[in-house]
Amino acid sequence: MKIAVLPGDGIGTEIVAEAVKVLNVLDLKLETETALVGGAAFDALGHPLPDSTLKLAQEADAILFGAVGDWKYDTLDRPLRPEQAILGLRKNLGLFANFRPAICYEQLVGASSLKPELISGLDILIIRELTGDIYFGQPRGRRVATDGHFPGAEEAFDTMRYSKPEIERIAHVAFQAARKRKSSGSEGRVTSVDKANVLETFQFWKDVVSEVGKEYPDIALDHMYVDNAAMQLVKEPKRFDVVVTGNMFGDILSDEASMLTGSIGMLPSASLNAKNQGLYEPSHGSAPDIAGQGVANPLATILSAAMMLRFSLNQAAAADRIEAAVKAVLAQGLRTPDIYSAGTTRVGTSQMGDAVVKALA
């Protein structure tokens, strides 16, 4: 089982190191190879996604990814910015389905900004389509400058588009995920989030998802406008089971959902293609303001590694062990600064990783 390890920028190198530390103590035959990506790759090789890194990713069974980006790269031409690396990997590997679970661990109920009764026991899954929508629609308005800025321009716009096959495949992923969750005790419901009352693209989305839903009579389907979904996530988050939506809405809603759990530092994610080859990364960014200080929370990356074992490497038992170890560490009261509160023990990045390793043993 070959894993491409791409730490990236900022805190990416610190948190990925802890996830690799955890993987290394498992009794599994794992081969890891590390490569540069993002700003680090641009500095060394002149491009955020060098050919050598892309080749490694394509040949690997799975990719463990940290984070990319730094403010110092904001003046680069858009195609050379660190964030283009993740978009390039999604496109070249066909990573169309993004899984972002939002689980509130009982030990962290007090860390959420919502009332405990609203989020205690929260376990929802947001599935975001990754390769369509406005992020990949044809951009317009760059007649004045090619660096992503438009001094003197009068207009700029981007096109939102989806094809029927793109919507069908992400809908199938959502219904199948809801079916698996139902077998484990979840409600068995898919909420499709759109803006069909305003956007033709999302009326089309709604129609296609409804048609696919007829193939899953055991799974309930409802539709919700994105503005209402944003409100309901903070009003009544446990009403959701599986949420499926487009690229831009999914980007926004999954970050909102992350804060229900107390910290975005707790949220893993998986991006899969049709072959279950996947890229696994924490939902947070590179946080250059705290990079190098040893205070970043590695648990989202460690939990992403567990998702990697489950979805791409068929090692569900090992994934269960990691997730149980994380719960055990939280039960001990260990907390990185983002989830620290009175009565708990404050630890750094490597200390948290060490604690998970110890719990695994």
Question: Which residues form the catalytic set?
Answer: 135, 195, 227, 251, 255
Report yes or no: 261 and 330 within 8 Å, Cβ to Cβ: no
Q: Where are the beta strands (DSSP E) in 80-219?
A: 97-103, 123-129, 139-140, 157-158, 189-194
For residue 283, with 0-12 CB atoms within 10 Å meaning exposed, 13-18 middle and 19 or more buried, which class applies? buried
Nearest to 349, CA basis, from 11, 3, 7, 4 = 11
Q: 99 forms bridges with which residues in the sheet?
A: 127, 270
- In what helix (H) or strand (E) does residue 243 lie, and over which residues does it extend? strand 242-245
Structure token digits, residue 67: 């984070």
Angle in degrees, CA 125, 16, 344, rounded to 5: 75
Identify which of 361, 270, 294 has the alpha carbon closest to the alpha carbon of residue 65: 270
d(CA 278, CA 301): 14
For 35-89, what is the HEC assignment? CCCCHHHHHHHCCCCCHHHHHHHHHCCEEEEEECCCHHHCCCCHHHCCHHHHHHH
Residues for the chain: how many in total?
361
